Amino acid sequence: MESKNVNETSNTEIITISRAEYDELMAAKAKNAELAQQNNWLMERLKLNNKKLFGSSSEKTEQEDSDQLCLFNEAEAFADESAPEPEISDVKAHHRKKSESKDRLPEDLEIEIVEHKLSDEELACPQCGHELHVMGKEVVSEQLKIIPAKAILVQNVRYTYSCRNCENNDTSVPVIKAPVPNAVIKGGFATPEAVSYIMTQKYVLDVPLNRMENDFKRRDIHLSRQTMCNWIMKCSEDWLEPIFEKLHEELLHHDVVFADETTIQVLKEPEKKPQSKSYMWLYRTDKYAPRQVALYDYASSRSAKNAQQFLKGFSGYLHCDGYQAYKTLPDDIVLVGCLAHVRRKFDEALNCLTDDQRKSSKAKIGMDYCNRIFEMERSFEELTPEDRLTKRQELVNTVLDEFLSWLNSFNPAKQSHLGRAVEYAQRQLPYVSNYLRDGRLEASNNRAEHLAKSFAVCRKNFLFSNTPRGATASAVTLSVIATAMENGRDPYKYLTYVFREAPNIDLNNEEAFSRLLPWNAPDNTRFAAN
């Protein structure tokens, strides 16, 4: 082999530059790296925004997405001409749908009988001409009839009584007047049923007042939205706020609470622009609570003092997201983080990648850790809280430790979506792990988020509140309705009961007032049996 001459000249060119030129070169290199990082982040944002705009949500099933898309063409989307009409079978004293049918009617549904008889001219026998007689009858078919809500003018007629004997024998004649119950609004023409109907339409069925106003007009009932708004606020302040305060006290007595917050726009908020954000804070009990409570609390800001004031006197476990305000609460409140929020961050990072990149990405690994835990939780659903706690400590604890160890094993770019997901998970997992302390606790804060989503649907229809007073009335009304429904009460029936009874009792009488609370309301306010 021919040896290499050590004196041969290398092809490498050595260039000598000044220190200033070197510093300038390194600065340009760092700038290029920064620009590349910013470009990657912007591309991630673009992919994520496109996913949010045009893609399906990872937290929804395919069916749920389909239902949302069918919002405006549901008649066409869900129609199935090949499906048979539901049959109704006879049951003693009532009618009930066959169990295999999805359609079902109440067992105590009022029955209207329509009899089909021959006319007098048709009662002649076609063979001999003699009169026909009834030999039997049969139910040929049964059909559902729906009658739109109707308005009735209620006249309260009070009778006056006197004594005939006193009239004939005495100079003084006593006059006795029959008692008349107090109205739900003194001096007004609203009935408990009318106010309950309007509240239920607005806060349960999400029908804004202007649509109700137009619907009433089509029936020649001219009831302005201003009047309806006044009814809501007056009845909320007079009769529902005392119930709200009692429900608030009940909530603070529990040791497991879920919390969240969402935005609301209030046009005439003092010292704030109409476009500014105000907030609805949401609180509810855990699913094992014998008395369910679900509350909305209106506040002009997202300040930590709102949670501090509302939860004053509470101690126990508080389910919440990663919002910093909750970390200012007293030490006797143990924060329980939300694994669904952790998963959501990794989902966002995953959606910034191409299909090929996703298969081997660290974002997918983070998602898989979250999914493993949620899968375990689904398998524990039927267990008692005690048994669930045991299973969690045996199985979930190990996965959480592995997850945290994996998070600490690498250091992604902080500005990337993966970096943000990792940083968020590192901060929140210690709080998430607190749910392993009690079998009643949950891996996510979805119970509170469901309240927020319900309000968001309602908000899309009425868009904003005009004043803080109106926003407060909405919060109180929503709270009473949501709590009533959580305790198996039909909102219309329950509100009607409250508005009929509350004006005619002493609200300071604890025993009388307690009968107004949802869990103490009479059985006729319950939902129809499922």
3-state secondary structure 212-261: HHHHHHHCCCCCCHHHHHHHHHHHHHHHHHHHHHHHHHHHHHCCEEEEEE
- Distance between CA atoms of residues 405 and 397, nearest Å: 12
368/456 same-domain check: yes
Nearest CA-CA partner of 351 in 361, 341, 336, 338: 361
- Same domain? For 478 and 455 the reply is no
**Mean pLDDT calculated for residue range 178-186:** 94
Same domain, 276 and 207: no
Domain of 281? 254-461
pLDDT at 46: 62
With a cut of 80, say whether residue 234 has pLDDT above it. yes
Asked whether residue 166 is domain-assigned, the answer is no
Q: What percentage of the chain exceeds 90 in pLDDT?
A: 56
pLDDT, one tens digit per residue, over 395-407 is: 999 999 999 999 9
The answer to whether residues 428 and 472 belong to one domain is: no
Highest mean pLDDT among 40-54, 280-294, 451-465: 280-294
304 shares a domain with 451: yes
The verdict on residue 295 lying in a domain is yes
Q: What are phi and psi of 83, to 5 degrees?
A: -70, 135
State mean pLDDT over 188-203: 95
Domain boundary (461, 487, 507) is at 461
Residue 441 CB neighbours (<10 A): 20
Please tell me the predicted confidence (pLDDT) of residue 127. Answer: 87
Residues, the chain, total? 530
Evaluate whether residue 383 is within a structural domain: yes
- Do residues 321 and 260 touch, judged by C-beta distance below 8 A? yes
For 417: left if phi > 0, alpha if psi spans -120 to 50, otherwise beta; the answer is: alpha
d(CA 60, CA 56): 8
% of residues, the chain, pLDDT over 70: 82
Residue where a domain stops, chosen among 412, 439, 461: 461
- Residue 133 CA, chain-centre distance (Å), reads 61
Q: Quote the pLDDT of residue 228.
A: 94
Place 363 in a pLDDT band, splitting at 50, 70 and 90: very high
Q: Is 182 domain-assigned?
A: no
- Average pLDDT of the segment spanning 89-111: 62
The number of distinct structural domains making up the chain is 2
Residue 11 belongs to some domain of the structure: no
- Amino acid 55: pLDDT: 54
- CA-based end-to-end distance of the chain: 94
Kindly state whether residues 207 and 305 are assigned to the same domain.
no
What mean pLDDT value characterizes the chain? 85
User: 412 and 498 share a domain?
Assistant: no
pLDDT (average), residues 216-221:
92
Does one domain contain both 395 and 413?
A: yes
List the single range of 5-14, 106-115, 161-170, 250-259 with lowest mean pLDDT. Answer: 5-14
Q: Indicate the pLDDT class of residue 65, thresholds 50, 70 and 90.
A: very low
Specify whether 432 is located in the same domain as 515.
no
Tell me the pLDDT tens digit for each residue of 128-176. 888 988 888 888 888 888 888 788 999 999 999 988 888 888 778 888 9
- Which comes out higher in pLDDT, residue 101 or 175? 175
Question: Do the Cβ atoms of 322 and 420 come closer than 8 Å?
Answer: no
> Which own/partner pairs from 201-206 qualify as long-range (CB within 8 Å, at least 24 positions apart)?
202/232, 202/458, 202/462, 203/458, 203/474, 203/477, 203/478, 203/481, 203/491, 204/481, 204/485, 204/491, 206/457, 206/458, 206/460, 206/461
The least confident of 12-16, 85-89, 318-322 is 85-89
The model's confidence at residue 13, banded by pLDDT at 50, 70 and 90, is low
| pLDDT tens digits, one per residue of 415-460 | 889 999 999 999 999 999 999 999 999 999 999 998 888 877 777 6
Based on its alpha-carbon atoms, the radius of gyration of the chain, rounded to whole angstroms, reads: 34
Amino acid at 240: L
* Structural domain contains residue 262: yes
pLDDT of residue 124 exceeding 60, the answer is yes
Same domain assignment for residues 474 and 454: no
Cβ atoms of 319 and 445 within 8 Å: the answer is yes
pLDDT tens readout for residues 300-335? 889 999 999 999 999 999 999 999 999 999 999 999
Where residue 37 falls among pLDDT bands split at 50, 70, 90?
Answer: low
Q: Give domain status of residue 169, yes or no.
A: no
Q: Rounded mean pLDDT of 367-377?
A: 96
Q: What is the pLDDT of residue 462?
A: 63
How far is residue 338's CA from residue 445's CA, in Å, rounded to a whole number? 5
Query: Which comes out higher in pLDDT, residue 238 or 109?
Result: 238
| Domain closes at, from 416, 439, 461 | 461
Instruction: Indicate the pairing of strand 175-177 with strand 256-265.
Output: unpaired
Same-domain check for residues 405 and 264: yes
Within a domain: residue 114? Answer: no
User: Read out DSSP for 313-367?
Assistant: T--EEEE--S-GGGGGS-TTEEEE--HHHHHHHHHHHHHTS-HHHHHT-HHHHHH
- pLDDT band of residue 296 (cuts 50, 70, 90) is very high
Which H or E run contains 22? helix 19-54
**Is residue 265 domain-shared with residue 393, that is, in the same domain?**
yes
Whether the predicted pLDDT of 29 surpasses 80:
no
Across the range 16-32, mean pLDDT stands at 72
> Given this model, what pLDDT does residue 109 score?
85
Span 240-261, mean pLDDT?
Answer: 97
Categorize the per-residue pLDDT at 61 as very low, low, confident or very high, splitting at 50, 70 and 90: very low
